[in-house]
A and B are shown apart, each in its own frame.
Chain A
Amino acid sequence: MSTYYLNYLEELESEAIFILREVWAQFQNPVILFSGGKDSILVTHLAKKAFHPAKIPFALMHVDTGHNFPEAIQFRDDIVEKLGVNLIVGSVQKSIDDGRVAEEKGKNATRNALQITTLLDTIEEHKIDCAIGGGRRDEEKARAKERFFSHRDEFGQWDPKNQRPELWNLLNGKYFEGEHFRAFPISNWTEMDVWNYLTKENIEIPSLYLAHEREVVKRNGSWIPNSEYLVLEPNEEIVKKKIRFRTLGDITITGGIESDADTMEKIVEEVSTMRETERGNRSDDKRSETAMEDRKKDGYF
């Protein structure tokens, strides 16, 4: 009987499905945080498997910075329609218009941190008690500290110094009124695992992940895509390059890389030789040593 083993991708898949089902069983009103990026697509795909033949029992929730890759929005709308799930959109633009937050000023202004308020407001408004994220521990050093079930207090805050112990597969999702949880079913997946799995399962992803000719500008060492929100600095110029994106965030700050990888197989090949982490091109993480931890403490994804 000693031949009954799973390969590691199957083991990770099984773990993620277990967590998704546990969320469904323990919470009243959970949602999947859906950005249109590969990790949230993966989580959604795993949810489909977890509840088959029933429909995915979660709504998808998108925190819309207003600075989107158009392809990512199209992709979001298509998947919502195909799966027949509800879509909840929290709009950063609306938070700004309502005076909940103020736009950052200056050259490196982004709407990244503004998302926190919109996210927490939307969670409160829809009485969401668990938001399922595609965060992975290998992404970033503060994320490396996350539990599968991660408690947020009534202010939406994470307290990394005082997390609940999480033993074996016994997940404690208990909370007081007004508090909520974040759940991270793909905590143990690496970027490589994600690509291998997406390829193996033939999962559709936005074309932004594949190399194409794109208009870009070099800024802080990475290739920022041209968009209606881009304000050129005097010494900057728009050029055409064969570019793909390793992560999809706010279009104004997500840098692409030069690449020839225009198929899934080539991406897997390329990722395996990569010398920089995927978030290395995101200026939101470069702001300070503890940028991610600080944002997460405030309630960020």
Chain B
Amino acid sequence: MKIDKNQLLRFTTAGSVDDGKSTLIGRLLFDSKSIFEDQLAAVENSSKQKGIDGVDLAMFTDGLKDEREQGITIDVAYRYFTTPKRKFIIADTPGHIQYTRNMVTGASTANAAVVLIDARHGVIEQTKRHTFIASLLNIPHIIVCINKMDLVDYSEETFNSIVEQFEEFSSKLLIKDVRYIPISALNGDNVVNRSEHMSWFQGSPMLHELETLHISSDINKVDARFPVQTVLRPQRKGYEDYRGYAGRIASGIYRVGDEVSVLPSGFNSKIKTINAGEKEVEEAFAPMSVAMTLQDDIDISRGDMIVKVNNQPELSQEFDVMLCWLNNSPVKPRTKYTIMHTSNEQKAVIKDVVYKMDVNTFKRNEEDKDLKMNDIARVKLKTSHRLMLDSYRDNRNTGSIILVDESTKETVAAGMIV
């Protein structure tokens, strides 16, 4: 079971509307020979109907009727492809501000983001918003593709000046690894194959970068956290006393015999068995789905967390989160939302808006307290019971929350624990 690298890379596209995200993914799939003949024929046919000669590459991901009619992406499309080096899950997300919630959906599980910029327009507000969201989501790698180079005569100066613009604003953000590539998604320059028009560019084409990105730190292997999803009580002969705690390990490593603490109650015990499916195993690690039994009879239910005695999350009812508001209807003061955190669910209220972020200037606005769709703000939350918390920077799985409005049942906000 032990291998020395992640085989699966999940990446997302980002950037403003019409900067060429879907075209780029279409080009990537096409040039890497990941398009099937019937898919190609169907897209050729639809392109012809729209009066486009050749293929509209964006149609490989823009699959909804409305998307094709309007020529924009509305919701995330997931695409899959494999090269001899790696397996990829692509989330092609919309650039339109109205659909930012779908961009966040696609980006929330990504290990890398490909940010597109139209070479004619340079860095604009939506570029900054998406890059800011990517940095909030702690996406470790960002590949900035300066696209439509064919429309600016493949100019090195244009490329350099956009790189400078990007560096200037992104230096204020926490992004670990940024690379820049001049491309033409439409014509395929520097996507899979090296461009013949930009010999001045020394770097590699995009696919090569994606194949060789070193993704090591996306899962926390140190802090063991096991949120209990459900308790298995088989009504079966031979298993009368079996009580298995089922869940997916959020982070860290567990071994039979480990001394563990059950939160929030705080009772201690030792791990008796670990099951991965039908197999009994000696050790298990994130992101495995397992079922554990403990040596002592403790009352444990969904929402509890099994951790190591010597490494525990913070238990708290009041904490700060960076919140992205995703719903059309703004925050209603004093409303009790349902907060979902790991497998736990409680009530929560927004006690205070500490500041709102201006995504254009990255200035903090401490006066404006109204949260509307697409706003990003630091807020103070208070929950009905204690949650087992880690900061999002340390742990994506135990540092993230969503808020649900019970009057509509909709997910209205995404939050990252500070």
Contacts and interface: CB of A to CB of B under 8 A. Distances in A.
Interface in B40-80: 42, 45-46, 61, 63-66, 68, 74-80
Contact of A145 (B8, B64, B343): B64
Given A4-B221, A144-B61, A275-B36, A25 B229 contact: yes
Given A8-B87, A21-B247, A277-B36, A53 B411 contact: no
Nearest to A290: B65
B168 to A, nearest CB: 30
Nearest to A2: B216
Contacts of A54: 232-236, 239, 244
A284 to B, nearest CB: 14
A137 interface: yes
Given A2-B216, A142-B63, A55 B36 contact: no
A235 interface: no
Contacts of A6: 1, 3, 287-288
B230 A21 contact: yes
Interface in B330-361: 338, 340-341, 343
Interface residues of A, number: 61
Nearest to A172: B411
Contact of A49 (B77, B78, B234, B277): B277
A196 to B, nearest CB: 11
B302 interface: yes
Contacts of A289: 42, 45-46, 65, 68
A293 B1 contact: no
B280 to A, nearest CB: 10
A280 B39 CA distance: 8
Interface of A: 1-8, 10-11, 13-15, 17-18, 21-22, 24-25, 48-55, 137-138, 140-142, 144-145, 147, 160-161, 163-170, 172, 174-176, 187-188, 190, 192, 274-277, 280, 289-290, 293
Interface of B: 1-8, 36-39, 42, 45-46, 61, 63-66, 68, 74-80, 82, 87, 89, 101-102, 104-105, 108-109, 216, 221-222, 229-230, 232-236, 239, 242, 244, 246-248, 253, 275, 277-278, 285-289, 291, 302, 326, 338, 340-341, 343, 396-397, 400-402, 404, 406, 409-411, 414
Q: Which 10 residue pairs spanning A and B have beta carbons closest together?
A: A141-B63, A49-B277, A280-B38, A54-B234, A17-B289, A174-B409, A165-B101, A167-B108, A4-B285, A14-B289
Given A18-B229, A170-B402, 20 more contacts: A1-B222, A4-B285, A5-B2, A6-B3, A8-B7, A14-B248, A15-B287, A25-B230, A53-B234, A53-B236, A54-B232, A138-B80, A142-B64, A160-B75, A165-B414, A166-B411, A167-B402, A172-B340, A172-B402, A280-B37
